[in-house]
Amino acid sequence: MASQSVAIGLINDIFAQPLTYALEKNSIAHPFTLRHSSLAENAQQLAAGEVDAALVSPIDYAKHSLEWEIIPGLGIASYGVTGAAKLLFKKDLITISTIASDLRFPTEMIVSQIVFIEKTGEKPQFITQGVQPGIIPEKTDAVLLVGDDALPVKTIQEGVFDISEEWNDVAELPLVHAVFAVKRDTISPTTAALLLQSHAYYQEHREGIIQDLSESRGIDSERLNMHFSEELRFTLDELDIDGIKEIFRHCFFHGMLGEIPEIIFSQAASADQSRMN
């Protein structure tokens, strides 16, 4: 596959840059065509065969688990207060019944509902619309902010829930925001190796990349360094996979999924990782 034109579905949000920066800047040689959409749109494109591999949400993987597999060891996960996903709500509310959100981040929407069900017994309803950082739309109680929309909003203040922290409190496991998915038995070892190499390049050149992103995105370099090195993780391990499975179990229990999906890993990528190690 790598000798042909290979399309990779990426996202623009800065929390994906440790996985994709080297590809986007052509810091490593690759044959890929890069397409930037949202996690949800990436899933649609992967299902339609418009891309060959894509960053997608775990919830979208669950919906296609019979056809897709995951590239092991790559993804975006958080544990504790991270700033990657926040719920901004009107102060002094007794209950939160409606949450404004767009459809770009399905997992965070589902996890928000799970957290409320587990902690309050109530299931807030989502009103899908465009969102703006720091602004709660009229006729809603709260707004869900993820990725670039969430990072500028201060977490330590009244009126903000950090979704990762709340999920950790419920499940005692990480919240996985995205994984690399491919259709089963379609990815070549070379393609898998290049995706892994992109993250390896970030690890080797982290300081310079953070400085470049700080200047180009207008985010303080110290804040960005903390976000990447202390709040997020990009090499998913067994604990992160357990976090995905726990989301699936909660979704099944609460009727959000018809069954608990099995997580299948790409054998081509696994074999390539073994050679790299």
Quick one: CA dihedral 240, 241, 242, 245, positive or negative? positive
Say yes or no: do domains 6-77+175-276 and 85-171 share a fold. Answer: yes
Q: What is the pLDDT of residues 15-53, one digit of tens each?
A: 999 999 999 999 999 999 999 999 999 999 999 999 999
Residue-range domain boundaries for the chain? 6-77+175-276, 85-171
Which pTM value belongs to this model? 0.90
CATH for the 6-77+175-276 domain, from 3.40.50.2020, 3.90.550.10, 3.40.190.10, 3.65.10.10 = 3.40.190.10
What span, in angstroms and rounded, lies between the C-alpha atoms of 268 and 143? 40
Tell me the pLDDT of the chain (277 aa) as tens digits: 344 689 999 999 999 999 999 999 999 999 999 999 999 999 999 999 999 999 999 999 999 999 999 999 999 999 888 888 988 888 777 788 989 888 889 999 999 999 999 998 989 999 887 776 667 877 888 899 898 888 776 644 458 889 999 999 999 999 999 999 999 988 888 899 999 999 999 999 999 999 999 999 999 999 999 999 999 999 999 999 999 999 999 999 999 999 999 999 998 765 444 333 3
Q: What is the 3-state secondary structure (H, E, C) of the chain?
A: CCCCCEEEEECCCHHHHHHHHHHHCCCCCCCEEEEECCHHHHHHHHHCCCCCEEEECHHHHHHCCCCEEEEEEEEEEECCCCCCEEEEECCCCCCCCEEEECCCCHHHHHHHHHHHHHHHCCCCEEEECCCECCECCCCCCEEEEEHHHCCCCCCCCCCEEEHHHHHHHHHCCCEEEEEEEEECCCCCHHHHHHHHHHHHHHHHCHHHHHHHHHHHHCCCHHHHHHHHHHHEECCCCHHHHHHHHHHHHHHHHCCCCCCCCCCCECHHHHHHHHHHC
CATH for the 85-171 domain, from 3.40.190.10, 1.20.1530.20, 3.40.47.10, 3.40.250.10 = 3.40.190.10
